[in-house]
Structure 1
């Protein structure tokens, strides 16, 4: 955990010492490109699903807003009457894979992001490292018109008809170097091959295809009669967060007037234990929905006397995003 945080901070600061990792980045780039070409030229099999596949991913390590975007797209397409299914790697989940994600699924079994996606949308969803097996299980259980792949942008064994890449405008591409010298999974030229959705703050958009996160009203994860039920933004709070880019969470807190915080940043997909939430005071905790799906599992066996507030966010897409989506779906014979 300490090493991951150290590297993350170095990326964010564009630390000069990162150039020492350049030989490893060169090897990473060579191996990644060689593997990609094996699929593109037919040396390795690419699986084409019987229904269209749309991949939602990024070329950077760490949070970009991909999960809120996917949730918004699922809800939008469901509202349009489209039968949508979702597949995901299920990162952090223990399986066994492939596995259907239901309202009863735990983040420990299926991963935090899949648990949150189904909690918010009730969409048919399957997780597992083998996308072909995921799709087979999904289609054996449900009838769907479109499959959304949560991440999988670099999973070249999966054929896809549509790709959306989310790019955080504030983080950008860092030093524009591949892992581990920088936080790029692929060269920046990859952005030329797909639809790029700029994630930035409201009124700071530089492109027509953009999104921002709208902050909702905090809600209690552990409501009971012994806990204060009213949210007060001026309270001192412990900001507990385990996402790829915790600064975004702190910014969201600032937007609703929460400024007196003690920061507790864990690595992305952190598995919480009881001691992570123990502090020498009575201040409330505030966290993200992604973290909450894991923290709530602790509430079944432990008693928390301090309030644990959850800050929801919703992706707001520009109208050109929806217009382009319609065109892209029309191209694969899906009308909305």
Structure 2
């Protein structure tokens, strides 16, 4: 939450104007780097199968990991073998590894762990996403499609479909970091290989597809049992979230008629310690699924009732139709129409 507030502060007023020269240098560096990949001076790899990259043009979370899970389920429903790769932000090591259900979250990162549990797809993490793809294909040679969680700016991995996710912030003040929230120039980036734009907020700032985001009708305990949210409406609850925008989670809980006695806003990818839940003894605590992959394995949960509330993420049908149209020729082994070719 502190990082989100800092980014909001930086995008407003005199400080943003003060940092504008640095933003201009950032823009030059971004354009130069892209040009070096396109001309082959920086190496990039193609792996001979469709690669979908899901990411953000703005700093901070906007819903890319829920979209990755929705994409994987959509492709699995078509009978396709799908693999997922990620850097595994916040994990303790840099080695390339397969994320399994029992892999400690400290080794995998919270988002890869959540994707694995939610989809059962093969998930590999590595400091370099190209290394993760190599490990994935070596272990699962029948993989038909690779979905990359984040990595829109990781041009070392050539891609066939690029998807950018935006929330209600849109592009903010339209300036690059550090004067604004943009990682890359906009709308210039939209004309340079970006295939699909998905808005996850209530008020899309510009043209693109939309997705619904709402909480499920139930919460899940560590043992897998479920309890209806309506059964929690007469309780005083504590809610915590270690995500990019905790207040959005709290607002959705309140919209379901839940009374939040206390809310705990924590930094995105927060590494929970023994003291984080000490003050919640004897209470019912609600968290996100992303937090739950770390918290459910913590000792001391017997002193409280910890429940994860799933997010139902529903891109509009037209989005999936557009995706399928892009993938059809690739899956038929026709040449890709774009990418970061080196030859």
Q: TM-score, normalised by structure 1?
A: 0.89
CA 1:214–1:303 in structure 2 vs 1: closer, same or farther (change >3 Å)? Answer: closer
| Inter-partner Cα distance in structure 1 for 2:4 and 2:206 | 30
1:128–1:134 contact (8 Å) kept in structure 2: yes
Aligned residue in 2 for 1:321: 319
* 1:94-121 Cα distance to aligned partner (Å, 9 max, x none): 2352111111112110100000000001
Structure 2 residues without counterparts, runs of 5 or longer: 334-343
> Secondary structure, in 3 states, of the residue corresponding to 1:260?
strand
CA 1:285–1:51 in structure 2 vs 1: closer, same or farther (change >3 Å)? Answer: same
2:4–2:244 contact (8 Å) kept in structure 1: no
Structure 1 residues without counterparts, runs of 5 or longer: none
CA 1:234–1:95 in structure 2 vs 1: closer, same or farther (change >3 Å)? Answer: same
Q: How far apart are 1:283 and its partner, in Å?
A: 3.4
> Secondary structure, in 3 states, of the residue corresponding to 1:117?
helix
Q: How far apart are 1:261 and its partner, in Å?
A: 4.2
CA 1:171–1:258 in structure 2 vs 1: closer, same or farther (change >3 Å)? Answer: farther
> Secondary structure, in 3 states, of the residue corresponding to 2:296?
helix
Aligned residue in 1 for 2:339: none
Q: How far apart are 1:14 and its partner, in Å?
A: 3.2
CA 1:266–1:15 in structure 2 vs 1: closer, same or farther (change >3 Å)? Answer: farther
| Inter-partner Cα distance in structure 2 for 1:268 and 1:320 | 31
Aligned residue in 2 for 1:147: 146
Q: TM-score, normalised by structure 2?
A: 0.87
Aligned residue in 1 for 2:198: 197
Aligned residue in 2 for 1:69: 67
CA 1:62–1:31 in structure 2 vs 1: closer, same or farther (change >3 Å)? Answer: same
CA 1:198–1:96 in structure 2 vs 1: closer, same or farther (change >3 Å)? Answer: closer
User: Which ranges of 4 or more aligned residues in structure 1 deviate by more than 6 Å?
Assistant: 203-206
1:48 to 30, 36, 46: 46
| Inter-partner Cα distance in structure 2 for 1:207 and 1:252 | 25
CA 1:264–1:8 in structure 2 vs 1: closer, same or farther (change >3 Å)? Answer: farther
Q: How far apart are 1:9 and its partner, in Å?
A: 4.4
Aligned residue in 2 for 1:95: 93
Count of residue pairs brought into register by the alignment:
327
> Secondary structure, in 3 states, of the residue corresponding to 1:183?
coil
CA 1:212–1:134 in structure 2 vs 1: closer, same or farther (change >3 Å)? Answer: same
* 1:180-237 Cα distance to aligned partner (Å, 9 max, x none): 2222111222134421112134x9897562111131134243469xxxx994124332
